[in-house]
Structure 1
Amino acid sequence: MNQTIDTSRLQRGRAALAAIDGEAGEKVVAALADIAPDFATYLLEFPFGDIYSRPGLNLREREIATIAALAAMGNATPQLKVHIAAGLNVGLARAEIVEILMQMAVYAGFPAALNGLFAAKEVFGAREEEA
């Protein structure tokens, strides 16, 4: 690795990722190990070590914003699914996630809302199968 690693950022990032995404987040980091290990470190340090770890919003509120943003983008379905699961992990109810995604019809259009709702349906179904 070419960069100097700030272990406190990395440690904060690992802790935040574990709290938010659990095993799914670790799978993303592990999947990057053989192609872009530096990027895996950046992922842990910046979004999770710096941003998710900031005061001001709790993890539940941050996941509301993240789900809305990813749904509005319309081209980030794999990440949206991870964050819908993360939303459930940090206390969002399924009905709240559905409402967040329906709200996107107003600002991002019906296709983005539909895609988000179908992603949520998949995540909810997978959760039911695991239970």
Structure 2
Amino acid sequence: MTDSTSISDTSHGAIASSDTDTDSRRYQRGLSKLAEIDGDAGQKVIDALSDIAPDLARYTIEFPFGDIYSRPSLDLKSREIATVAALTAMGHCQPQLKVHIHGALNVGCSKEEIIEIITQMAVYAGFPAALNGMFTAKEVFAERAI
């Protein structure tokens, strides 16, 4: 085949070259969005995965940041509010919550808004989850001296 949908053999199986082009655009869009939201903290997560699970690092860039965070219907502040709430409600995601509290601050959330988001999660996720979230926020605020 000579068209743009020709098949190339890779170590992970056959992939259409047009899919590779799409994946490359998703990856670049994801890297850009990751840098915009999380800055160095997001890149550190990706770097930490590179030696043990490079595919997971790539998926993390392509799907959440290249696809979901890049959708136009919600602004980044709204997306980070939802993410902080969800991670707080889960109650056991402190490393990820820490990264996303930084991200929320980076895209315009205030310290007071983050405190309110986490406090509201006490109603829906319980006090243990909200307390874990608040202590994680306290660490982020201390790191940022706010």
Residue of structure 1 equivalent to 2:103: 86
Which 4+ stretches in 1 moved above 3 angstroms?
Answer: none
- Give 1 or 2 for the bigger CA radius of gyration: 2
Matched, 1:9 2:19: no
- Letter of the 1:65 counterpart: A
* Offset, 1:2: 2.7
Identical-pair percentage: 64
Mind listing any 5+ residue stretches in structure 1 that lack a counterpart?
Answer: none
Instruction: Establish whether residue 75 from structure 1 lines up as the match of residue 92 from structure 2.
Output: yes
Alignment of 1:78-117 (within 5 A): 78-117=95-134
1:56 lines up with 2:73 in the alignment: yes
Work out the CA distance in 2 between the residues paired with 1:25 and 1:44: 9
Unaligned runs of 5+ in 2: 1-10
Paired AA for residue 7 in structure 1: S
Count of matched residue positions in the alignment of Structure 1 and Structure 2: 129
Other-structure match for 1:127: 144
How many Å apart are 1:75 and its aligned residue? 1.0
When the two chains are superposed, the root-mean-square deviation of aligned CA atoms in Å is: 1.4
The residue identity in structure 1 corresponding to 2:105 is L
Quote the Cα distance in structure 1 between the aligned partners of 2:81 and 2:124.
15
Shift in Å, 1:112: 0.7
Question: Normalised by the size of structure 2, how large is the TM-score?
Answer: 0.85
Higher relative contact order by CA 8 Å / sep ≥ 6: 1 or 2?
1
